[in-house]
Structure 1
Amino acid sequence: MKKIVFLLIGGLLWFSTLRAQQTQYMVFEFVKVENDQIFDYIEFKDLMEKVYRQALNDGKIDGWDFWALQSGADHSDFQYIMITYYDDPVNMMNGLDEEKMIEYTKIAYPHLNDAQVVKIFQESLAMRDMPMRLYMREVAHTDDSFQMKPGVLASFDLMKANEGLFDDYEQAEMEVFKPIHQERIEKGLMGHWSFLRTALPLGSQAQSTHLTMNMYKDYMQFFNGQAYEDLDQTAEERDAVNEGLNSRDQKWVYLATLENVVR
């Protein structure tokens, strides 16, 4: 009997560990909306929150975020970032087709007829453009209990590993920068950090190879985090940081506010 109990406990612990280590896959869609259509699009993304919630309930996705850019890009390029979360690379690549989205819209808005639902999608597709889409795989993240809710801030840092230093850069992020971010979180200077590798697009002409997400609960935490300087850092640690910085090119940094979230 004791042996069976131990096996059950071991199985539960293994299952919990497996869930905790489950790899996350994300699709980043950078959205451009013409200035005269922004208010219409705000209504559309609120509708999308309800649609993606249906997709979550159906087990098709793990979550969805809608971020409004505060800085980091010319507004002629894009103003919003949508992130859809998946637990499987095949599901990520397949995504949600228009037929499935319409099906979820009908569930979320049972008072709309088929023609009204189709019209909503046609109008939404006409008012937006997606100049960039990135398919990402999470490589590492901090240990924290950060709560994703409207109003939190994120810094999206697009990186490109220098030629011949791809592995060196990834090692630096996981072994040098991750502990630094973990320490900042424990000091209340940051909420969450995640390191992602680009799955698509690939090749030497791709704009980036990696992306880091730095989360903050509000502007106060963000600015305190920016002002923090670790005076206890040793010369060896500073050398490791500099070596890591020299292994990649920081292409862009986007500061954004979370407006809608589905979890």
Structure 2
Amino acid sequence: MKKLIITTCLLMSVFFTFAQTSAKQTFYLVNYYKSDRGKTAEYISLIKTYASKIWKEKIKQGDVASYTLYSVLTSSGDPNYDLVSIQSASSINDFSKTNTADFMKKAFPGMDEKTLSGMANMYTSLRVPVKTEIYSNITALRGEGDYMEVNFMKSLPGKEGEYERQEKEVYQPIHQEFIKNGNRTGWYFNRLIVPVADGSEYNYVTGNLFKDWDKSYSITMEEYLSTYKRLFPKTPLPEAARTMVRTDVWKIEVREK
């Protein structure tokens, strides 16, 4: 009997461990592009006219959960990209599960191979790939907006766990207040997982979503501090566990989900 109880406890332990580790996760495949001189609008138009139909097919098939194309409006640094595409999925493997060319045929059943090939060449002639990254979502206050303020963060050496704790336990409640007050529509906190190196420029990003352009950069440090004091009146502001590397503001040009 004692042996049976021990075995049952071990099985329950394995079950709960599996349940915790198999919780649904969201991953983001982020591609950064530099458009050819003066051809940004032409590329965006091409995506809206043709590629959006391909992404609809991929989403319908269950390959990815969403696709979004952003244009970069402003930056506090000097990025060498002006367009960013983001795919979301519940598994990293989903990003390479099928061939995009197959979906082109489904999206445009009347087109011959030569026309399809010419269309693909148009995409590559209008922009140059700069880099590709994959992120995992740590926590979020999910929402939608036409603009996103993206903060690229670098955790201090050995402070990754403390920084993640601060974002989840301190800053997420603050962002929740901003959303409640109508200053924002959503907030995301993601960890860079590919590529990762000790010398990486940044290893985390946060995304603040807005519906109106004038809401971007609109929240001052004083508002952060006053909201913190109201939420945590007996706790001093925690010591910083990260540095801010750069802030961009992106505008949604195409969104499929």
- The TM-score bracket by the shorter chain reads 0.7 to 0.9
Amino acid at match of 1:194: Y
The change in CA–CA distance for 1:72 and 1:224 in structure 2 (over 3 A counts) is closer
Tell me the residue number matched to 2:33: 31
The change in CA–CA distance for 1:126 and 1:54 in structure 2 (over 3 A counts) is same
- Does the alignment pair 1:213 with 2:207? yes
The Cα offsets for residues 125-174 of structure 1, whole Å up to 9 and x where unpaired, read as: 233212121100000012x5x345xxx11011111111111111111111
Q: Distance in 2 between matches of 1:163 and 1:252?
A: 18
The more displaced of 210-219 and 122-131 is 122-131
Q: CA deviation at 1:39?
A: 3.8
Match of 1:89 among 88, 92, 96: 92
Match of 2:45 among 43, 46, 61: 43
The more displaced of 58-67 and 32-41 is 32-41
Amino acid at match of 2:86: I
Partner SS, residue 35 of structure 1: coil
Q: Distance in 2 between matches of 1:253 and 1:66?
A: 18
- Does the alignment pair 1:117 with 2:116? yes
- Does the alignment pair 1:173 with 2:167? yes
TM-score (norm 1): 0.80
Tell me the residue number matched to 1:61: 64
- Does the alignment pair 1:70 with 2:64? no
Q: CA deviation at 1:227?
A: 8.0
2:148–2:251: 8 Å Cα contact kept in structure 1?
yes
Q: CA deviation at 1:206?
A: 1.8
- Does the alignment pair 1:156 with 2:150? yes
Partner SS, residue 177 of structure 1: helix
Q: Distance in 1 between matches of 2:27 and 2:248?
A: 20
Partner SS, residue 67 of structure 1: strand
The Cα offsets for residues 94-125 of structure 1, whole Å up to 9 and x where unpaired, read as: 365xxx21221222223321111111112312
Query: What is the RMSD computed on CA atoms of the aligned residues?
Result: 2.3
What are the ranges of 5 or more consecutive residues in structure 2 without an aligned counterpart?
1-19
Q: Distance in 2 between matches of 1:75 and 1:129?
A: 17
Partner SS, residue 23 of structure 1: coil
Tell me the residue number matched to 2:139: 140
Q: CA deviation at 1:233?
A: 3.8
2:149–2:216: 8 Å Cα contact kept in structure 1?
no
Match of 2:181 among 184, 187, 190: 187
The Cα offsets for residues 172-219 of structure 1, whole Å up to 9 and x where unpaired, read as: 111111110011111111100010011111111222111111101112
Q: Distance in 1 between matches of 2:221 and 2:210?
A: 14
Q: Distance in 2 between matches of 1:83 and 1:253?
A: 17
Bigger Rg, which one: 2
Partner SS, residue 136 of structure 2: strand
1:188–1:221: 8 Å Cα contact kept in structure 2?
no
Q: CA deviation at 1:63?
A: 0.2
Partner SS, residue 253 of structure 1: strand
The change in CA–CA distance for 1:233 and 1:167 in structure 2 (over 3 A counts) is closer
TM-score (norm 2): 0.81
